[in-house]
Structure 1
Amino acid sequence: MFRARRTTLSLALIGLAAEAKYGLAPKKFEALPLGNVRPTGWLLDQLQVQTNGVAGHMHEFYDLVSNSDWIGGDSFYSYLEEAGSYWFNAMVPNGILVNNTVIKEKTQEFLDYVLDHQDESGWLGPEVGTDKPRFLWGRYPFFFGAIQMVEYKPSQTDRVVTALHKFVNLANEMLRKEQGVDKWAMTRWEDFVLALQWLHDYHPRGQEKLLVDTMTRLKWSGVPWEKVFSEKYFPRGPVENLTNPFGLELSWHGVNMAEGLKALPATYRFTHNQSDLDAANLAWDLMFRYHGRPSGAYAADEMLAGLEAVRGTELCLVVEAMFSGSYLYQVIGDLKYADRVERMTYNALPATMTADMWGRQYLQQQNQVAAKNMTPNPFPEDGPYSNVFGLEPNYPCCTVNFPQGWPKFITNAFLKTVDGKSLVHLYLGPFSTEVTLSDGNDAKVVVETLYPFGDTLTTTITATKDFDYFVRIPSWVSGGSISVGDGPKEELTPDEQTGLQKVEVKKGVTVLRLRLPAEITIEKRLHGSIAVHRGPLNYAFDIGRAEQVIKTDPRETHAIDLQYDPAEAWEYAIDPSSLVYHHDTPTSGNLPSPIFDSGLPPTRITASACLIDWPLAGDTFASSPPENPECVGPRRVITLWPFGATKLRISEFPVVSFGEGVFEDVVGSQVPLQL
């Protein structure tokens, strides 16, 4: 059973190991402090859309995080348990990256209140002056937010670091007594380890042994992720009818597993064991082999859900997997992590939000033909309201947690090599960054691009000294090139493991021009179906929808729950040989805002298709894609759009073959709804 690993002998052995070795293994790359990387172009607009939506306004009305409910009152302590901690972690970088004065003030108030009310023992709420047991997990997202505050505003370093060290002393004592670990702390211990590693790397204050001992005790108090993510125990399909071998069902919980993906690289840093990195690589591969989605995420409608297109993916899962993937790349440096994070960010994340980002789903589907109260529903452990777009369909956690997605993606887009001499452009998109590299080399980088809605990037680098600059070349690039200054176009030669293209940059101003074209690629899915990709984007048939407001929040009229019904037929099979990519160059040079909405992206793929007999499996969700379907309607051309811009969609298609021939182009027309 799971708890058998929490033995006195195990803890004693681990304590001895910590005594003997308390240095941390270095990462491959280091993230830059919050504020050093800024979004520009369409990406800045997207973050501003988020700020104008529920993320930037929930502190004004939403009970779980409304500051008026806790400032100056004991009710504050309920907010550090989850919601307030999540909100703080997300809105610190959100407010700073768009320079929103109100949000920056609110997050500062939150930080001040928490630190001002630290218990004498070192505890940071909420279980102060109550009989409620103290559990560790609710503080972990708060730690991430506080660390980001220190990065952006170093004048707060002493106050925050002192409070964290005081808490660590108490936490170590609690772990020695086997206290503070509930079912959530058992699965999310790795988040505390990351905070401890930040203290160890930058502000150890001579407490290295205690910090490593606490990391080790956290690991041995929690889920054995190296076993959960092993060939022997990892589930190959949906888990609702399986028995969990570890006695803790939450080890198969989708969000816990998204966070758990960074547990093994975090463990490696204090064990120095290559086996931990090997296990981390295997974990990633197993997850996406057996549960992965064309959108870049994986399926878990509460628990792991396999490969069926109708099963759900939780929004919290998406943003936590993005964060874990960024950490995995920083520790291990394998291209597969960065490629997958970019797919999630540009597909799964925007797909589960309304375009104005006032509404979100709890669960999204690859094939999603309606978004409404689903009775019956295809989610065995989540409610029928789970795929409605609204303020808090199903559980409220995603409302307060989702805003970390875009800001942390932006913050992790540039890295430094561990020697501090080189700069790495990891995630592709429109960014700017300013950083001082080793030897006082001041470097500024501005990236102009429409990527992922375009294939070219123009990067202007200004530096006071020569240095090596690296840019990631995704695995999907086909026939790309790079030119430096007025030099000729040269073939790309990225490192096979890291995916990084090295450029020797001279002091002064250097302009790089990257061309990163990609081919349309086909991904085989269940039941003989396929998914369609080009570059980082997954493409889907955007089903015309009828919209109905089914609820309006009395505190905020923008906060509405939306029901979407299909307004046109969606039961298409496509001929993969007919796929054609189209790209429109924006006449103004700017993309529409918000870009992730029906018909607005400048890229699309057309496909030869026909209607087939494809029944519903419930009143509002599609059955599995039919195998070997026959056309029941004429051949026609349909348009596939970037997945993130669709709210109702088919993205795993049955396959037909029309052979050679010419047919009438009827792109954009609708056929009658057949339900």
Structure 2
Amino acid sequence: MMIRLLSLFPLLGIVGVLAQNTTGLSPKQYLYLPLGAIKPSGWLYDQLMVQTNGLAGNERNFYDYVAQSDWTGGNYTYSNLEEAGSYWFNGLVPNGVIVNDTTIQSQTQYFLDYVFANQDSTGWIGPEVFDSTKPRYLWGRYPFLFGVIQMIEYNSTLSETLIPAIYKFVNLANTMLQSGQGLEPWTETRWEDFCIILQWLYDFYPNGNENLLINTMEMLRNSGVSWQDVFDKQYFPTTATENLVNPFNNTLTWHGVNVAEGLKATAVQYRFTHNQSDLERASSGWDLLFEYHGRPSGIFAADEYLAGLQAIRGTELCDVVETMYSGSYLFQMIGDTKFADRVERIAYNSLPATLTGNMWSRQYLQQQNQVAAMNMNPDPFPTDGAYSNVFGLEPNYPCCTVNHPQGWPKFVTNSFVTTPDQSSLVHVYLGPLNTSTTLANNNAVTVNVDTLYPFSDTLTTTITATSAFTYYVRIPSWVSGGTIAINGGAAQAVNPSNGLQSVSIGAGTTTIVLNVPAEITLENRPESSIAVHRGPLHYAFDISRNQTILAQNAQQPLAVDLQYLATEAWQYAIDPSTLTFNSNPPSSGELPSPIFDAGLPPLTITVTACPVAWGLAGDTFADSPPVSPSCTGAPTNITLWPFGATKLRIGEFPVFNSTQ
């Protein structure tokens, strides 16, 4: 087979062409596949099974906010569809499908049926809160509707009853918005999520309601936060925000989860405004966020509100999964692979780092330099509580317990997309995956990616197709010396255009061997410290720890709150000139399970280090890394591990020169 360059317009050029249509909705650069078309395999399937067998897959059986026993028979609580139930449903729908878990699928079907069975005559979704005077707010229904969309995509026969029910709600929402109802600060910041739902209706089930849908989008945008302004450089905070005056009436604009969701807002509005500046702001706002609040682990800092660059400031688990979803949406809208690069980094670093290996306990806040996970008094977080970095069932706030399950499943479901004409398939996120879909002209295509990536540099992809087509695979920006070989032919250097490598696929079976090696790279951090990367993985010193159970759920003994305390010194400076990459591939060809746990990944980096004077800023959290420290002992070798497998860690190091 021939390897040829990507033959799409340059990014801004194609956007400019698409934007010439100033009626209806502007098209996307790429289209996602319906739920069920993409499945995980290998270690990634195992990771989804760890989640399924862990807290996420078992919440329905015992956790107060979403347990079925707590809301059947008239005991439905307001939180179930105001936030908790909606979050849970949004994540568990794809989880159940992609691992074919019939128990989860029956639970989500029951929840779906129950909610719509209680839709009232006005169109309001779900039962009214008993004896409550709380006004109707729109936002809590958005995650639920995301789950409904996924269920319809998986089983189109559901559309016959669900689409009319959704439109009843849309008509009600439109009327409420005209009267200024249904709005509060959270709804005003998260309007873009409802717009995505409305745009899905417009794209697939318009049913003559195009004017209603666009009018509702416009009212949502006009009644909500202007993300165009929030991500304007003149207003955007460049430091931690607790001592800054927020220039917007809605002070939740700097709230971490709202920012994570708002990242996609101007790209969402571009579809109905057709303004090129909306896409430009989405791209520049993404860059601003990570320039001033970014983490080497891929995510940004927000211990409730944007928190700057210091290594001890926290990042909420909800920030992680919402940023992953926003990044996937932005790649599909704009086509810039910088979004996909970062989502992949987040998935392979930030997401597993903030969960125990067995995924039965999670943090509210993770830290780059995290030398204890305990009840911290004082704590380094100006807004969140001292319990925030404990690994547990619901430390600080329960939202992350019900929202985190969307992270891994939606990473899988967004890992392949098609071009707008549906003639070509694009492999976006690298990992062990398979997909089966029908492209344009009834071209039945199956793709199986056999790899240990990111714990290996090699991906072997087998493609079968009825007809010839063009296949694209993302080449991450960190790849150095990548090669590609087709059907056993000689390896050739990758030559991506706009981040994508193009391969001409013929009818029948084609095998692609892609090699994506990377160099060790350094990232400059505050106080002249550095972070270490190779490929998509960020590396950290995994601090040995002891474990104490602080609390245990009465109904589910596996749901525990865990305290971790360091059992070894962590105060090291490193000599970056001595960094050495080590690969120890498993002899069985299979990775241990769960892969994101201490000592289990097959990749490490060793480095010469020396002990330094590095104290605590409080009783239990690290001070900032010392600048130009002197060694207080003899140099030694330490091992750095993939960040996602560490629970106590140093991820940002002071430096020294071991030859002086």
Interval of TM-score (by shorter of Structure 1 and Structure 2) = over 0.9
**C-alpha distance after superposition, 1:497-524 (max 9, x if no partner):** 3x11000000000000000000000000
Q: What's the counterpart of residue 669 of structure 1?
A: none
Q: Quick one: which amino acid aligns to residue 253 of structure 1?
A: H
| Corresponding residue number in structure 2 for 1:101 | 102
Number of the residue aligned with 2:11: none
**Sequence identity, in percent?**
62
- Equivalent residue number for residue 17 of structure 2: none
Matched, 1:141 2:143: yes
Residue aligning to 2:320: 318
**SS at 1:547's partner residue?**
strand
Number of the residue aligned with 1:634: 634
Question: Equivalent residue of 1:577, what SS?
Answer: helix
Distance 1:228 1:78 in 2: 29
Alpha-carbon separation, structure 1, partners of 2:488 and 2:432 = 22
The 1-side partners of 2:452 and 2:589 are apart by 9
Deviation at 1:659, TM superposition (A): 2.4
Aligned to 2:242: 240
Match of residue 668 from structure 1: none
d(CA) in 2 for partners of 1:185, 1:36: 32
Alignment of 1:32-51 (within 5 A): 32-51=33-52
Q: Deviations over 1:59-106 (max 9, x none)?
A: 001010001111231525431000000000010011111111111101
Residue 289 of structure 2 corresponds to which residue in structure 1?
287
In the TM superposition, what whole-angstrom CA distance separates every residue of 1:557-606 from its partner, at most 9, and x where no partner exists?
00110000000000000000000000011100000000000110000000
Q: Hey, what's the Cα distance between the residues in 2 that align with 1:447 and 1:132?
A: 50
Aligned-pair Cα RMSD in Å: 1.0
Structure 1 residues 117-126 or 90-99, which shifts more?
Answer: 117-126
**One-letter code aligned to 2:658:** F
1:608 matched to 2:608? The reply is yes
Partner of 1:61: 62
Residue identity matched to 1:106: Q
Q: 2:576 is paired with a residue of what secondary structure?
A: strand
Q: What corresponds to 1:161 in structure 2? A: 163
Instruction: Tell me, in whole angstroms, the C-alpha distance in 1 between the residues paired with 2:78 and 2:297.
Output: 38
Q: Which residue of 2 aligns with 1:456?
A: 458
Q: Choose from 468, 471, 475 the match for 1:469.
A: 471
CA contact (8 A) 2:139 2:190 kept: yes
Deviations 1:518-554 (A, max 9, x none): 0000000000000000000000000000111111111
Q: Is the 8 A contact 2:544 2:648 kept in 1?
A: yes
The match for 1:583 is 583
Deviations 1:279-306 (A, max 9, x none): 0011100000000000000000000000
Q: Which residue of 2 aligns with 1:356?
A: 358
Q: Does 1:374 align with 2:379?
A: no
Give the superposition deviation at 1:445.
0.2
Residue 258 of structure 1 pairs with residue 256 of structure 2: no
Divergent runs of 4+, >2 A:
125-132
In 1: Cα distance, 2:555 partner to 2:261 partner = 33
1:365 pairs, out of 364, 367, 385, with: 367
Q: Give the match for residue 556 of structure 2.
A: 556
Q: Deviations over 1:282-338 (max 9, x none)?
A: 110000000000000000000000000000000000000000000000000001100
Moved more, 298-307 or 547-556: 547-556
Structure 1 contact 452–537 (Cα < 8 Å) conserved: yes
Per mean C-alpha deviation after superposition, the further-off stretch among 480-489 and 291-300 is 480-489
**Structure 2 equivalent of residue 80 of structure 1:** 81
Q: Which residue of 2 aligns with 1:5?
A: none
Contact 2:368/2:650 (CA < 8 Å) preserved in 1? yes
* Segment drifting more, 90-99 vs 467-476: 90-99
What secondary structure, in the 3-state scheme, does the structure 1 residue paired with 2:308 have? coil
Query: Does structure 1 retain, via aligned residues, the 8 Å contact 2:22–2:274?
Result: no
Local SS of the residue matching 2:140: helix
CA apart distance, 1:21: 5.6
Matched, 1:409 2:408: no
Post-superposition CA distance 1:614-656 (Å, at most 9, x none): 0000000000000000000110100000000000000000000
Partner of 1:502: 502
For residue 373 of structure 2, give the secondary structure of its aligned residue in structure 1.
coil
Deviations 1:358-383, CA, capped at 9 Å, x for gaps:
00000000000000000000000000
Q: Secondary structure at the match of 2:600?
A: coil
- More divergent stretch after superposition (76-85 vs 614-623): 76-85
Q: Who is 1:216 aligned against?
A: 218
SS of the equivalent of 2:472 reads: strand
In structure 2, the partner of 1:386 is 388
Residues in 2 aligned to 1:421 and 1:76: alpha-carbon distance in whole angstroms: 47
1:437 maps onto 2:443 in alignment: no
- Does 2:493 correspond to 1:479? no
Q: After superposition, where does 1:511-550 map in structure 2 within 5 Å?
A: 511-550=511-550
Q: Contact 2:415/2:427 (CA < 8 Å) preserved in 1?
A: yes
Aligned partners of 1:344, 1:630: CA distance in 2, in Å? 34
Query: Is the 8 Å Cα contact of residues 572 and 609 (structure 1) preserved in structure 2?
Result: yes
CA contact (8 A) 1:22 1:209 kept: no
Contact between 2:119 and 2:127, CA under 8 Å: does it hold in 1?
no
Distance 1:322 1:427 in 2: 11
1:568 matched to 2:568? The reply is: yes
Is the Cα contact below 8 Å between 1:119 and 1:128 reproduced in 2? no
Query: 1:126 offset after TM fit, Å?
Result: 4.8
Could you list the runs of 5+ residues in structure 2 that have no partner in the other structure?
1-20
**1:105-116 alignment, distance < 5 Å:** 105-116=106-117
Q: Which amino acid aligns with 2:650?
A: I
Q: Which amino acid aligns with 1:463?
A: A
Q: CA deviation at 1:555?
A: 1.2
- Counterpart code for 1:488: A
Counterparts of 2:40 and 2:395 in 1: how far apart (Å)? Answer: 30
8 Å CA contact retained: 2:264, 2:282:
yes
AA aligned opposite 1:450: L
| Aligned-pair CA distance for 1:248 | 1.7
Q: Distance in 2 between matches of 1:193 and 1:78?
A: 23
Match of 1:597 in 2: 597
- Uncovered stretches (5+) of structure 1, i.e. residues with no partner: 1-19, 661-675
Aligned equivalents of 2:73, 2:199: Cα separation in 1? 32
Maintained 8 Å contact 1:413/1:428? yes
Corresponding residue for residue 279 of structure 2? 277
The corresponding residue for 1:13 is none
Give, as a single letter, the amino acid of the residue that structure 2 aligns with 1:32: L
SS at match of 1:278: helix
Q: Secondary structure at the match of 2:270?
A: helix
Q: Is residue 128 of structure 2 the alignment partner of residue 121 of structure 1?
A: no
Q: Deviation of residue 406 (structure 1)? A: 0.1
What is the one-letter code of the residue matched to 2:439? L
1:331 maps to: 333
Alpha-carbon deviations, 1:30-65, whole Å to 9, x = none? 010011000000000000000110111110010100
Distance in 1 (alpha carbons) for counterparts of 2:221 and 2:86: 22
Paired with 2:305 and 2:224, the residues of 1 have a C-alpha distance of 18
The residue type equivalent to 1:573 in the other structure is: A
Partner SS, residue 82 of structure 2: coil
